[in-house]
Amino acid sequence: MNLAEQHRICAENPEAFWQQAASLIDWSQAPTRALPDAAADGGWFADGRLNTCHNALDRHVQAGHGDRPAVVFESGINGASQILSYAELAAKVQECAAVLQRLGARAGDRVLIFMPMIPDVVVGMLACARIGAIHSVVFGGFAAPELAARIDDAEPKVLLVASCGLEPSRVVDYMELVNGALTLAEHSVDAVLVKQRPEHGAVLLPGRDHDWDHELAAHAGANVPCVDRSSSDPLYILYTSGTTGRPKGVVRDNGGHAVALAWSMANIFDITAGDVWWAASDVGWVVGHSYIVYAPLLAGSTTVLYEGKPVGTPDAGTWWRICEKHQVRGLFAAPTAIRAIRRADEPGEHVRASQLTSLKTLYVAGERIDPETADWARRTLQVPVVDNWWQTETGWPITVTIPSDESDSGASSRAGGQPSPGYDIAVLNDNGEPVPTGDEGSICIRLPLPPGPASAIWGDEERYTTEYLSTFEGYYLTGDGGFLDENGRLHVLGRTDDVINVAGHRLSTGALEAIVAAHRAVAECAVIGRADALKGQTPHAIVVLKDGHSPDTDAVATEIVELVRAEFGAVAALREVHIVSALPKTRSGKLLRRTMRDLAEGRTTVVPGTVEDPSIVESLRGELGTTSQPAAR
Ligand code: COA
Ligand code: AMP
């Protein structure tokens, strides 16, 4: 049955649709009702009870599939390769769960995980799920202050960390970052469990730090039962960028999440038990949570866990060799990765060097895919390219392009397409009214949302309502702008707020601005996302220096780049600093970001009538060193 049909059936009787979907999950107490009861404030499948780890592992082992590969690990960096069967993974998870319990972690406690793409990170996440602890995985590209902010917000009892991460050009000392973060944080943790990697070992602090391998070995053969959770109990917190510098801890429940992911795996990604699936993201992002770890394991399929880059580790053929070696059926990637591969292998020689007969579909998400790259992938891989649009908050695709639509030029040129069941999309103007077909507006989702999306921000009850529900009554605000076409398909044009997307990584310009503004020579600044042919966008800092400061501007620019790296992390990839004489503002003092972005991208810009001083716009045009080009849509 196609997605449109499923969407229709769901809209007609959502209770029956989601009760049926709930049968994909083992419940210790089956839910008597699917839909949230607004009066009871209970969330999806409110009286259902389950354990997500049981659903991801034990039930497959109990059904006789313990020998089936659960995780296939490949490192493009150190050449490691490992396969963990469902039974092996379940055993490791129980060892880790036993260690967590020994270290004092109980249901509802937070466990923060700071690990690279190694099998142990999956073990750690599932061990938390098993004992009902709430994990919060932090991406390795963040610096110590960002890690500290997350530690202070989540207040974890235990940290699970690795001694290092491997980037192509350097070994990232994770333990140094952890130690730095724990010094900065006000919250202190009871214990740190450290996975030592051969490339760079960590010095363990007696009393606080514990050796992962040693501890797990001491609990070999542990039998740790799955702790029963209510459907709405939190499974994890995942921090994402908001419009302010303060990260938002998106809270995911157990029940709605399990149902939505299990449903999506079969019905959107066409993956069932025994299939091999590869989401080439990172566990630090939502794509990694949903489609490297939980969804493929809930489905009983095999998930590929890859440490490395799409190019340069060692070459642009790595992905295709892995696809051939493990007979990958579905590949999920960020458009940036495909652009990087295409740039290195436009003729597709690396692609042709591998037998890709198992590969049926390439799924792309995380940022807009440009039509040229989508066409290249389709032609070169000879598989459909399916774009899916969603966000950390929703946890699974809101819309999916339909492969058969792809001949319709433009359908795949911008994200969007057909909504998944339960997502009722509306494009609204500033007054909250639906705009005519083809007109741009704010993309919103009529409430209630389907199962899966977050319904809370950790530690801040008001913030979820303020940020997502209060702009337009009865709607969830996605933060993206776009339009619906005459076929009812959604086209996503990009964020309407101060969030930018760098290589599929969601970053807050507010967070970066706060860091740049803290430099001693900076009077005021703006950080904007400028279009980039490889990474989609890259951050550019536009800076006005304090009066009387006539330092070496190159040196200041270098210091700002270093400051952002030290305070936010390498993932920001802020490399461009423009020192200018003034920033354009409205008469009420609001920065004209759109104007700055247009100027930085060399487009002609319509200067708003509210501008405080039009001559600043003109001088900025020269200072940003750009030539005028027609404005893009
Ligand atoms: N831990 C520590 N540092 C990390 C990191 C991690 N997990 N991931 C990235 N970084 C660092 C990199 O080492 C780099 O640091 P550098 O400035 O010292 O070189 C910086 O963060 C930027 O990294 P990245 O965005 O990976 O850029 P790159 O130039 O090294 O690689 C691409 C370019 C295109 C290969 C890469 O951006 C890529 O693979 N993009 C796809 C990303 C993706 O899958 N996103 C999906 C999220 S859903
Ligand atoms: P994140 O929460 O990190 O997954 O980032 C979500 C944001 O990334 C969305 O709000 C969009 O702006 C953007 N995004 C995600 N997927 C797509 C896509 N397929 N096409 C265009 N933009 C996307």
Q: Are 274 and 322 in contact (CB under 8 A)?
A: no
Q: Is the pLDDT of residue 243 over 80?
A: no
Q: Which ligand is nearest to the CA of 241?
A: 2
Kindly report the protein residue whose alpha carbon is nearest to atom 17 of ligand 1: 570
**pLDDT in the model for residue 23:** 98
Q: Which of 139, 492, 507, 509 to mutate to test the pocket of ligand 2 (most atoms within 8 A of CB)?
A: 492
**pLDDT in the model for residue 409:** 43
CB-ligand 1 contact for 4 (6 Å cutoff)? no
Q: Which ligand is nearest to the CA of 492?
A: 2
Give the tens place of pLDDT for each residue, 41-100: 789 999 999 999 999 999 999 999 999 999 999 999 999 999 999 999 999 999 999 999
Kindly report the protein residue whose alpha carbon is nearest to atom 23 of ligand 2: 367
pLDDT band at 627 (very low <50, low <70, confident <90, very high): very low
Give the tens place of pLDDT for each residue, 493-540: 999 988 999 999 999 999 999 999 999 999 999 999 999 999 999 999
CB-ligand 1 contact for 172 (6 Å cutoff)? yes
Kindly report the protein residue whose alpha carbon is nearest to atom 45 of ligand 1: 504
Distance in angstroms (rounded) separating the CA atoms of residues 319 and 363: 14
Q: How far is the CA of 31 from the centre of ligand 1 (A)?
A: 42
CB-ligand 1 contact for 141 (6 Å cutoff)? yes
Give kind and range of the element (H or E) at residue 526: strand 522-532
Q: Which residues contact 609 (CB under 8 A, 6 or more apart)?
A: none
CB-ligand 1 contact for 340 (6 Å cutoff)? yes
**584 phi and psi angles, rounded to 5 deg:** -75, 135
Q: How far is the CA of 571 from the centre of ligand 1 (A)?
A: 6
Give the tens place of pLDDT for each residue, 568-600: 999 999 999 999 999 999 998 888 988 999 988
Distance in angstroms (rounded) separating the CA atoms of residues 271 and 269: 6
End-to-end CA distance of the chain: 36
Q: Which ligand is nearest to the CA of 335?
A: 1
Q: Are 342 and 373 in contact (CB under 8 A)?
A: yes
The closest of 395, 411, 369 to 452, measured between CA atoms, is 395
Residues with CB under 6 A from ligand 2: 240, 285-286, 365-368, 387-392, 415, 479-480, 492, 495, 501, 506
pLDDT band at 550 (very low <50, low <70, confident <90, very high): low
Q: Which residue has the tokens 């566990």?
A: 283
CB-ligand 1 contact for 366 (6 Å cutoff)? yes
Q: How far is the CA of 13 from the centre of ligand 1 (A)?
A: 44
Q: Which ligand is nearest to the CA of 341?
A: 1
Q: How far is the CA of 536 from the centre of ligand 2 (A)?
A: 11
Q: Is the pLDDT of residue 413 over 80?
A: no
DSSP secondary structure string for all residues of 424-449 = -EEEE-TTSPBPPTT--EEEEEESSP
Give the tens place of pLDDT for each residue, 452-463: 999 899 999 899
Q: pLDDT averaged over the chain?
A: 93
Give the tens place of pLDDT for each residue, 141-188: 999 999 999 999 999 999 999 999 999 999 999 999 999 999 999 999
